[in-house]
Structure 1
Amino acid sequence: MFSPIKSTKVYEQVIDQIKNMIDQGTLKKGDKLPSERSLVQQLEVSRASIREALRALEVIGLIECRQGEGSYIKTSFQDNLFEPLSIMFMLEGSNQEEIWELRKIMEVEAAGLAAKRITGGQLNELSEITKRFMKSEGEAEAVTAEIDKEFHYKIAECSGNVLIFDILKTVATLVDHFIKDARKLIIVHEGNKEILFSQHNEIYLSIERHSSVEARKAMRIHLDFANKYKSERTI
């Protein structure tokens, strides 16, 4: 478990020990940390140092502190990625094209991995999402856009790579944040909805055939189409 700390930067040492326990698998997502009193006793440090360490871990998004319940290792980290990435995007003076380039790289590969790794249950779920998307002809643009987003997130999930899934959701949020209503703008343009239906169906069929080559190609065609239309719009 924990070992006593002898250091001038006490709270940093507390953080390092908690990180090491996560790395070793002693602490996992959703686990509750020992109480402040227990940490004080095990680490032989002051309560102030423990609280400082917990505050720092909460700020970086590793733990969540629940009033009256204690501190827990977080189970989801997508929200933690958005703010630093969006701020970095603005500070670096990046343009919207760079976001789309990153998204394309990740989504094309995610489709290829999904074709190889998707399970029977996941394929059924993706099939249902595809059918709902195809049947959304008369729905409001916002509804179709949400199903579209769900489709892409499911493929990222089916890639079997949690980093791709987490980062892609963040990148998709950046797209929506910096390119306002991007999906809606594409959908409302005459003729685009039918093209999107066809492209999404081809992506699904390629994954159903477990063809990584075809899935990557279908996703690339779809994103190139979306990017071309997006380029004609302004933020």
Structure 2
Amino acid sequence: MKSLEPIGKKEKLYVKIAQQINNAIESDMYKPGDKLPTERELASQLNVSRASIREALAVLEIMNVIDVKVGDGSYVKQRTSNFQFETKDSSVFELIEVRMYIESVIVKLAIERATEQNIKAIEATNEGLRQTIKNQERIDDFFRYGVAFHKKLAEATQNDVLIQIANSLFEQDAHPLWRHLNMKVLLSYEAREHQLHEHEGILAAIKTKDQKKAEELMKHHIEHLKNMFYE
């Protein structure tokens, strides 16, 4: 059975994994048209998490090396000897992990400090989602309104340091890997509808100053995002 060598834990996993799979394709271990092992099998071979495998496969799909078919698997499209992929300091999984904690604080402070203007600004992002949700050609706009929702929440804390931290996290949204994973998810109308519903619920809880509910909804929102990417 074809297998790959385990990845060292200190290396930048998702990029190193993508490089190794690409090398295997270059060496004819996998040829154009071949189906790659499942995510579970690759994770076992390389001794890494399925989250890292999912990110590595997304990198290769961005580079047009493979085609990831939902519910089917990953197929080799072509070889590329010039492996170059711009990386950020953190993976998508790490970004989501940090957001789980940061956005809980943001919601708490937003409930305490949001002005009427802040609430209107947050509501405007949800209105943007409503206006673009049914238009498959405006997924990019839907994505931007979704990001804006979280940035406007941070602004409602009235805490400049926290706003800067949140903005630095969401600068990662320009990362090609993060964008690629989001866009694939948002191709589904049900996924877009679910995101809007979650955003509306969070805002409603903030308006009624229901801290417990708002924090629970935000936690569920980010967990759902993680599950869509990695389950």
* Residue 169 of structure 1: aligned partner: 167
Residue identity opposite 2:184 in structure 1: L
Whether 1:106 and 2:102 are equivalent positions in the alignment is: yes
In 2, the alpha carbon distance for the partners of 1:211 and 1:108 equals 13
Which position in structure 2 is the counterpart of 1:146? 144
Report if aligned partners of 1:175, 1:182 keep a CA contact under 8 Å in 2: no
Counterpart of 2:28 in structure 1 is none
1:100-158 deviation per Cα after TM superposition (whole angstroms, max 9, x unaligned): 11122111220121111101121122222222212322331001011111111000110
CA separation in 2, counterparts of 1:175 and 1:105? Answer: 18
- Equivalent residue, structure 2, for 1:137: 133
**Aligned to 2:155, which of 157, 169, 186?**
157
**Residues 1-235 of structure 1 correspond to what in structure 2 (within 5 A)?**
89=89, 95-139=91-135, 140-177=138-175, 178-232=177-231
Q: Is the 8 A contact 1:111 1:212 kept in 2?
A: yes
Secondary structure at the aligned position of 1:181 is classed as helix
- Root-mean-square deviation (Å): 1.9
Letter in 2 for 1:99: L
**Residues 176 and 182, structure 1, Cα contact 8 Å, conserved in 2:** no
CA distance in 1, matches of 2:131, 2:103: 24
Unaligned runs of 5+ in 2: 1-86
Partners of 2:218 and 2:187 lie apart in 1 by 21
Aligned mates of 1:105, 1:97 — CA distance in 2: 13
Distance 2:152 2:127 in 1: 14
Contact preservation (8 Å) 2:110, 2:153: yes
Q: Which amino acid aligns with 1:138?
A: K
Q: In structure 2, how many angstroms separate the alpha carbons of the residues matched to 1:126 and 1:180?
A: 22
Match of 2:13 in 1: none
Given that 2:114 and 2:157 are in contact with CA atoms closer than 8 Å, whether structure 1 keeps it comes out as yes
Q: Is the 8 A contact 1:99 1:175 kept in 2?
A: no
* Identical-pair percentage: 18
Q: Is the contact made by 1:100 and 1:175 (CA closer than 8 Å) also made in structure 2?
A: no
Aligned length: 142
The alpha-carbon deviation at position 97 of structure 1 amounts to 2.1
SS in structure 1 of the partner of residue 133 of structure 2: helix
Q: What's the counterpart of residue 34 of structure 1?
A: none
Superposition TM-score, scaled by structure 2 size: 0.56
1:165-220 deviation line (CA, Å, top 9, x unaligned): 11111112225414243332221134111111110100110111122222111111
Larger Rg: 1
One-letter code aligned to 1:103: R
The separation in 2 between residues aligned to 1:166 and 1:223, in whole angstroms, is: 20
